[in-house]
A and B are shown apart, each in its own frame.
Chain A
Amino acid sequence: MRFAEVLVFVCSLLAAAAATAATDGKVLFEQKCTACHTIGGGKRVGPDLQGVTERQPRDWLLQFIVAPDKLLAAKDPAALKLFEEFNRIPMPNLGLSEADAQALIEFIATAGAAARPAAPQPAAQPALPQPDLGSLQSKALAVFLAITAVIVLVFIWVGASTRAPADVNTAKAYGLRRVLFITAAVLLTALLAATLPQAPYAAGDAKADRVVYVATRQFDFVFSEEPITSAEDLGRVRRMERPEFARGELVEFRVTSLDVNHGFGLYNPQRQLIAQTQAMPGYVNRLRVRITEPGDYKVLCLEYCAAGHHLMHSGLTAK
């Protein structure tokens, strides 16, 4: 009896240990790797890791995950080949121990086996048609072109006038200047009065229907319904893979960064930029957006954040 009890106890201990190893691998992966890798979700900044445990020898994987920079410096052929293939964006040394790496490899192997067979990479995606101009953007462009046309015409007129040299009446010109000054001052003041109240900061008073926390890092966006203030939170909080919203909801994005400055730029289903804010380390920017149309929204990083900047994107869905 006693022996059996001991056996059960030892077994449960082992099971628990195995379970923590597994969760550790998962937590570590979410904290340190999802910024650049998926398992079965396609390549991001780095390769899709599904099946990597079969692709590469275990000891190479171990060495690579612990110190990719050393392998690269030692001109390891496999590391070099990957490096070139991934546009010379090096995989960073993340300061992991061998035990960490072992746990990660276990996790990648099991998660890779569990994941659906990797979807075949779509061959040469068809180019999308040119999107329509956003309404704000088209106003800005129209105003710009109109004023530019006036400037060009005035310059051409003045330039052409030099073909007929003559004295100019400076008193009259100064009178015109006074008129121009008053017109410009009135116009600009009116424009200020009209546009300043539209600043996005004023929107902070209404109560948002939904609050979504966004943590950015090189090179991904992490969405959650719980605050994320440090890399440690990443393994703890529940991530939303692709947040979903109901049409008409007023959403507040609370955007921060865990490393460098990033940008959170929201593109509507017509691929028009409708809202943005910066993601800054140590600060939380609250961006309010009313989701008015159903469809797939795209999120792009709009502040340069190193080599993977243009690959840093995410998305949301409105129903």
Chain B
Amino acid sequence: MRAVHKNTLYWMAVTFILFPVLILVGLFMRAVQADQLGGAQAWFYPMMTLHGVGMVGVWFVAAMACASDILERYCDPSAAVGRFALAGTVLGVLLLLACVFLGRFAAGWYFLYPLPLKGEWPAWSAVTFLLSITVLGATWLVWCLDLLRAIAKKYSLSRALAWHYLAGRGEPELPPSVLIITVSLIAAVAALLAGVIVLVLFYVELLSGATSDTLLMKNLTFFFGHTLVNLAMYLGVAALYEALPEYAGRPWKTNRIVAISWNAVLLIVLFAYFHHLYMDFVQPGAFQYIGQVASYFSAIPAAVVTIFGALLLVYHARMRWNIASLLFFIGLAGWAIGGVGAVIDSTISVNVALHNTLWVPAHFHTYMVAGLAFLVIGYFYHRCQEVARVPENAGAQAFTTALLVIGAYGFFAMFYLAGAYAVPRRFALYPLELNHGAGYSLAALVFASLFLAGFLLYLVSIWTRWFKAMGARA
């Protein structure tokens, strides 16, 4: 059995520590919104910022760790760059913790210009935050570039993008996971470069006072934020393509349709971010319409190729069900359901009623928690168990999965309902007219606690396997 690289095991540990802590931060927010923690409400927005940046960061690096683990099977990513990515991420997280806890920095996870420079927090905390993002962004850019280098060395980029399949040739064979990772990494580089431009413009303003155009900054910020989150999801899908066949006992190969669809994704993903600016009426109209078209058509390759393909793989298969394959299968459904919520919201005429309501966190939590996080923790378990081969307790695993699913969907349902009832997102407390929002928060608090309990049970079951994998590492 292929041993798990030490770096990958460290990334797992980072995820296992940070995820529960950030869930607690999420619970804290729901408790404040439920009017249960009046005294602590001043911490709501700093915690919202920590939770947002933290979660996006954790699931991006966790998905990258899966990608790098997959690539180790086919090519040769640098272990030194892997260690550098770990060190850079830890440094970035420390800076983030400092600016949030010591400086109460609270500009939200996408730090929309010019808010970081105009809040109630001290200037040093804004600078520390920007430094944190700079360290994280630069580190991840290097990491992405190294993985792309390793891919290009083995396959050449055009083959890694399966262009030979487009031309009708099936040789040399390309694992679909490598195709998806390549597409995602190219999008990641584009997103991170946009992030770099945003940061540079912030620094220019800090140093010279020259202000930037708010519409331009908004476009750059959402190109960066949307694309990064979106491709983290795709990296999770790559893990699915890699591991699900082993449970279904059937192969899942690249073919012309898969090649076309993921190349289409690469194009579409770069234009979907426009849906974040629908309510900026001064944005050129063409961009708005392109945003809706791109958002709609991004659903086709996802649904008709990947989800259909995965379902076909499982249909009447001699399936080996355990917590990993359950999480893969249910994670796929979470991606689909969150995607439906997203496509509805990406309809301009509907966005008028849903933009910046809790519908938005509703749909992205669906595919980040019940999609990406499920796929990634499924993959982590799969890799540890592959090496450790500890006997499995089917009942306990089914129970853990059930807790995760019930907790997650109950928690999402409260977001969806509140969103439909026009409760805004990012409100520490709800105004009298919308105080039904507090009731949803309380119910969400209960469900999210169930989810946390489920995750702790997951940790209990992976614990010994992780240590065995650590002992058996190459």
Contact = CB atoms under 8 A, between A and B. Distances in A.
B245 interface: no
A281 B215 CA distance: 9
Interface stretch (B1-9, B92-100, B168-176, B316-324): B316-324
Interface stretch (B149-157, B195-203, B424-432): B424-432
Nearest to B434: A271
A260 interface: yes
B264 to A, nearest CB: 12
Nearest to A296: B433
Interface stretch (A3-11, A123-131, A235-243): A123-131
A151 B352 contact: no
Contacts of A284: 282
A267 B348 contact: no
B281 A277 contact: yes
Interface stretch (B55-63, B304-312, B461-469): B304-312
B355 interface: yes
Contacts of A34: none
A287 B355 CA distance: 15
A188 B304 CA distance: 13
B405 to A, nearest CB: 11
Interface in A31-70: none
B297 interface: yes
A162 B426 contact: no
Interface in B240-273: 257
B315 A184 contact: no
Nearest to B119: A306
Interface in A168-191: 168, 170, 173, 177, 180-181, 184-185, 188, 191
B214 A134 contact: no
Nearest to A199: B348
A218 interface: yes
A34 to B, nearest CB: 18
Contacts of A154: 311
Interface stretch (B13-21, B78-86, B333-341): B333-341
Given A148-B337, A168-B312, A260-B115, A310 B296 contact: no
Interface string B212-223: 011100100000
A184 B352 contact: no
Interface stretch (B106-114, B131-139, B383-391): B106-114
A201 B421 CA distance: 24
A267 B357 CA distance: 12
Contact of B297 (A92, A168, A188, A218): A188
B114 A281 contact: yes
**B contact patch SS:** helix
A307 interface: yes
A285 B282 contact: yes
Contacts of B344: 140, 143-144
Interface string B415-446: 01100111010111111111110000000000
Contacts of B167: none
B314 interface: yes
B316 A196 contact: no
B288 A201 contact: yes
A55 B265 CA distance: 64
A121 interface: no
B289 A199 contact: yes
A211 interface: no
A115 B214 CA distance: 40
Contacts of A298: 431, 433
A184 B281 contact: no
Nearest to B45: A307
Nearest to B436: A130
Contacts of B315: 158, 161-162, 168, 173
A36 to B, nearest CB: 11
B420 A141 contact: yes
A261 B115 contact: yes
B280 A278 contact: yes
A166 interface: yes
B281 A286 contact: yes
A1 interface: no
A229 interface: no
Contacts of A282: 213-215
Contact of A137 (B215, B421, B434): B421
A58 B218 CA distance: 45
Given A277-B279, A281-B214, A310-B430, A267 B422 contact: yes
Contacts of B119: 306-307
B340 A140 contact: no
A137 B357 CA distance: 11
Contacts of A131: 421-422, 436
Nearest to A304: B426
Contact of B421 (A128, A130, A165, A192): A130
Nearest to A306: B119
B439 to A, nearest CB: 8
B303 interface: yes
B427 A195 contact: no
Contacts of B345: 140
A188 B300 contact: yes
Most buried by B among A133, A168, A274, A306: A306
Contacts of A140: 344-345, 350, 353-354, 359, 420
Contacts of B429: 310
B353 A136 contact: yes
Contact of B352 (A152, A200, A281): A200
Contacts of A128: 432-433, 435-436
Contacts of A136: 349-350, 352-353
B303 A184 contact: yes
A159 B329 contact: yes
A167 B317 CA distance: 7
A161 B321 CA distance: 13
B71 interface: no
A137 B431 contact: no
B317 A196 contact: no
A280 interface: yes
Interface stretch (A16-24, A83-91, A95-103): A83-91
A259 to B, nearest CB: 6
Given A188-B299, A196-B289, 10 more contacts: A144-B344, A161-B316, A184-B300, A199-B349, A201-B281, A280-B282, A302-B356, A304-B45, A307-B106, A310-B430
7 contacts: A88-B42, A137-B420, A162-B321, A177-B304, A259-B118, A265-B356, A276-B352
Question: 5 tightest CB-CB pairs across the interface, nearest first?
Answer: A198-B349, A88-B42, A162-B319, A273-B422, A310-B427
